[in-house]
Amino acid sequence: MKTSEAKFREPQGERPKAVKLAVLPGDGIGPEIVAQAVKVLDVLKRDGAKIEMEYGNIGGIGYDREGDPLPESTLKLSKQADAVLLGAVGGPQYDTLDRPLRPERGLLRIRKELNLFANLRPALLYPELAGASSLKPEVVAGLDIMIVRELTSGLYFGQPRGIEIRKGERVGFNTMFYSESEIRRVAHIAFAIAMKRGKRLCSVEKANVLECSELWREVVAEVAKRYPEVELSTMYVDNAAMQLVRNPKQFDVIVTSNLFGDILSDEASMLSGSIGMLPSASLDEHNKGMYEPIHGSAPDIAGRDIANPLATILSVAMMYRYTFAEAATADRIENAVKQVIAQGYRTSDIWTAGGTKVSCSAMGDAVVAAM
């Protein structure tokens, strides 16, 4: 485990000559929002960055064009790339397909195939958007949380799983499973991130009821010994769900399992106003990552050029911070986003009185101009 710790704490600063990106727009609003992020990458290219982009199909479009939500060609492209930029997958027209052919399965498979075990989801509130949060501005103003969710194990992957007939009725079952190495590697990432932030880590589980959580608690405490500067606390998931709306600013970094992280990170996202603002990173042991907005394919607004592209643009910033270890480029993109927000540009999901309502593509143009 020492290796994964060292690798994460000292990201490979050696920037490849040309970075290779797999660009997977996906379904619904995916192509619209990814096009805006590509404009940002084009600015970096214009300014001398060597970036090669190759497109692939994933999700519903993967099924439509290649008969598979994760076509072999996309997997190969993604494995060869230094990082993956993804839009979103899914749509009502795919909901009746057999489970293995559904878009979401493509997403689960690519995460597993690329061994992207750590999902980083910041919940950050831009002061100008405090009014768009569902909580009172004084509760959320200045919010800045990072949720680290384990992504490739736990209840979503545990075996056995299924629906079958037992004693004359249908039963459904899943298995919550964690090995100590799976817990340890995600804990290392969370501690390393806490070291770079406020040095406080809260491990969220349900150790009073679940053996799986009991092990989680023990292993996180063992890893903590390597990070004496980080103040570790533990919290049961039901309490964490409550504390996130009661007093969210008490948190700095949260580390948790796949199921709990899925729910808590969606809850945290609403604190920041719109899921259209929040990026995410999913990393492997070598900081290779897949970067995507946290929201889905939003079929209700797809094709109308009204989606918020900022989460996807901020995902590119995360890519530069975590995979390419180029903090200055990440800062440049994030500052451009801060600037357009401060200038009052708003897509309809974050529009409040006084702002200038803009389309998805106009928001992309505004970020490019601010860069």
Active site residues: 156, 206, 238, 262, 266
Q: What DSSP letter does each residue of 14-45 carry, written as one string?
A: ---SSEEEEEEEESTTHHHHHHHHHHHHHHHH
- Interacting residues with ligand NAD between 121 and 150 (CB under 6 A): none
Nearer to ligand NAD, 89 or 281 (CB): 89
Q: Which amino acid is at 202?
A: C
Contacts of 123 (CB under 8 A, 6+ apart): 143, 144, 145, 146, 147, 248, 265, 268, 269, 271, 272, 278
Q: Specify the residue, 183 or 317, whose C-beta has the smaller distance to ligand NAD.
A: 317
Total interface residues for ligand NAD by CB under 6 A: 22
The two structure tokens encoding residue 271: 């604190």
Check binding of 297 to ligand NAD (CB under 6 A).
yes
Residues 92-111 that bind ligand NAD (CB under 6 A): 104, 107
Is there binding between residue 57 and ligand NAD (CB under 6 A)? no
- The nearer residue to ligand NAD, 155 or 232, going by C-beta atoms, is 155
At its nearest, how many Å lie between ligand NAD and the CB of residue 266?
Answer: 9
Q: How far apart are CA 54 and CA 59, in angstroms?
A: 17
Residue 363: how many CB atoms within 10 A of its CB? Answer: 26
Selected from 21, 298, 337, 370, the binder of ligand NAD by CB under 6 A is 298
CA distance 21 to 258: 26
Subset of residues 21 to 50 that bind ligand NAD, contact rule: CB under 6 A = 29, 33
Task: In angstroms, give the least distance from the CB of 32 to ligand NAD.
Answer: 9
- The DSSP symbol for 276 reads G
Is residue 341 at the binding interface for ligand NAD, with CB under 6 A as the rule? no
Work out which of 19, 44, 84, 88 binds ligand NAD, going by CB under 6 A: 88
- Name, in order, each residue with C-beta under 8 angstroms of 290's C-beta and a sequence gap of 6 or more: 78, 83, 84, 85, 86, 110, 111, 114, 116, 281, 282
- In sequence order, the 6+-apart residues with CB closer than 8 A to the CB of 228 are none
Q: Which of 41, 147, 187, 301 binds ligand NAD (CB under 6 A)?
A: 301
Q: Is residue 261 involved in binding ligand NAD (CB under 6 A)?
A: no
CA 135 to chain centre: 22
Q: Which residues bind ligand NAD (CB under 6 A)?
A: 29, 33, 88-91, 104, 107, 275-276, 292, 295-301, 307-308, 311, 349
